[in-house]
Structure 1
Amino acid sequence: GELISKFGERQTLQNFHTDCIAKINTQINSELTSAYVYLSMASFLRQDNVALLGFAKYFSQAFTEEIEHAEKFIQYLSTRGGQLQLSAIAAPAKHEWESIEQILADALSMEKHLNQELLALHACASSHGDAHLSDFLDANYLQEQVQAIKQLADLITIVKRLGCACVYILNRDMMNGVYSSHGK
């Protein structure tokens, strides 16, 4: 037999609108950008002048989860016959923070932004009658995103209310796995 020299048409592409494919590619970039930010946060928290290793562990887990989210979207594109179009990942805007409260606030803001993008993607799926994409988002992302936002908001409230002493306790609890990123 002769080797096939050209790839044929994608055979799995069905009811997968180009607008939704573009938004998924944007979401992949956002997940990877968020992973970079979480990696930067974890690294900062490991510095000897900060030494909050429990929080560093928490944000390292968040880094891994964002990478997994991007990979899941990439696999989904492949399953549905969409084309992956990677774009440049922006460097984090910050590499240092003034306080753990500021880090948590930045993480909360980022998670809210990711949630808005997921909701826009869900709306795109609905407007194009793509029940499969809607179900995929419901099953894999939307609830977890709400839980992540709630957990970060709770942590901010605890730190604001109780101050430095609670940072030590939260750091210890995170080191021991009491808290994990994305509310799991």
Structure 2
Amino acid sequence: MSDKRISDDMEQALNRQMNQEAQQAQAYLALGVWAESNNYGGIADFFYKHSEEERQHMFKFLEYINTRGGEAKIGAIAAPADNPSNLKECIEDVWQHELENSRKIYDLVDKAMAEKDWPTFNFLQWFVKEQIEEEALIDGLRDKFALASEDRVNNANFYSLDRDMQDASQEAELPREQKL
């Protein structure tokens, strides 16, 4: 086995985040099941895809920890929260999940800086960018939902929102990256 090139404290923190990513994957999976059982097929597909993306994030942490000579440890994850009572609550819950995950990533960045662990700092920059994109993506979903739900008399708007989500990208394009 190679020499360990990561502090015990950083290894534990990265393991916690790795397991948090697994928790996020389960949460999105549960929301997908809820959406599908409530006939929001497009939204369910969006959440299923997002669940797989979160699982890929988990593997990035796992591989990094092991590459640095640490040991990735798969921990138990809690059951996802109870089903939302409606689509608005569902979307707002996802928004809060992403904001909380961003905070946790930023805390890891602060920790890497404090330890002067530049390889881990560099590794985490991908997640910083990813969280910016995640927040933009879900904030866009919140905006679309608000537009679709203003006319509560005609639920055809919900159908359009659901249909749009079926083919929605899992990535948001940042304004500075858009081609004019």
Structure 1-normalised TM-score?
A: 0.85
Does 2:113 correspond to 1:126?
yes
Any unmatched runs of 5+ in structure 2?
A: 150-154, 174-180
CA contact (8 A) 1:144 1:183 kept: no
In structure 2, the residue matched to 1:66 is 54
In structure 1, the residue matched to 2:177 is none
Change (3 A) 1:30 1:167: same
Q: How far apart, CA to CA, are the structure 2 residues paired with 1:136 and 1:85?
A: 19
CA contact (8 A) 1:12 1:79 kept: no
Q: How far apart, CA to CA, are the structure 2 residues paired with 1:182 and 1:167?
A: 22
In structure 1, the residue matched to 2:26 is 36
Residue 182 of structure 1: how far off its partner (Å): 4.5
In structure 2, the residue matched to 1:160 is 146
CA RMSD of aligned residues (A): 1.5
CA contact (8 A) 2:144 2:161 kept: no
CA contact (8 A) 1:77 1:84 kept: yes
Q: How far apart, CA to CA, are the structure 1 residues paired with 2:123 and 2:3?
A: 16
Paired AA for residue 169 in structure 2: S
Does 2:89 correspond to 1:102?
yes
| 1:110-149 paired onto structure 2 within 5 Å | 110-138=97-125, 140-149=126-135
Where 1:46 maps in the other structure, the secondary structure is helix
Paired AA for residue 180 in structure 1: S
In structure 1, the residue matched to 2:169 is 180
Q: How far apart, CA to CA, are the structure 1 residues paired with 2:49 and 2:172?
A: 11
Runs of 4+, deviation exceeding 6 Å? none
Paired AA for residue 123 in structure 1: D
1:140-159 CA distance string (max 9 Å, x none) = 21111111112212221221
Structure 2-normalised TM-score?
A: 0.87
- Structure 1 or 2, whichever has the larger Rg, is 1
Identity between Structure 1 and Structure 2 (%): 26
